[in-house]
Amino acid sequence: MISFLQLREKIKLDAGEKEVSTVMGGKGKRAEISISKKGNRYSVYINSEKLDDNFTSEKEAKTAADDFLKLMGEELQ
């Protein structure tokens, strides 16, 4: 039987979204950053939580995720 924690760890992408990349980031590399694409828009997920979905390039999405992790610091862990 799957526990709630295991179920929450899996990212549920919206219909039509494709996962582009997944990297570990933040202090100590403890935050999972996932970038997905739907049409010509990119979305950023940090630890399975959607940060934003209004980016025009993968590079812009990665930069926004890094900035968010710097801003949140240890509070995100």
Instruction: Mention every residue, 6+ apart, whose C-beta is less than 8 A from residue 77.
Output: 26, 27, 28, 30, 31
CA distance 56 to 29: 25
Instruction: Mention every residue, 6+ apart, whose C-beta is less than 8 A from residue 10.
Output: 48
Give the E-state strand segments of the chain in sequence order.
18-25, 31-38, 41-46, 49-55
pLDDT digits (tens, 9 = 90+) for 31-74: 888 999 999 999 998 888 888 889 999 999 999 988 888 888 75
Tell me the whole-structure pTM to 2 decimals. Answer: 0.76
Question: Using CA of residue 41, residue 42, residue 44, residue 45, what is the dihedral sign?
Answer: positive
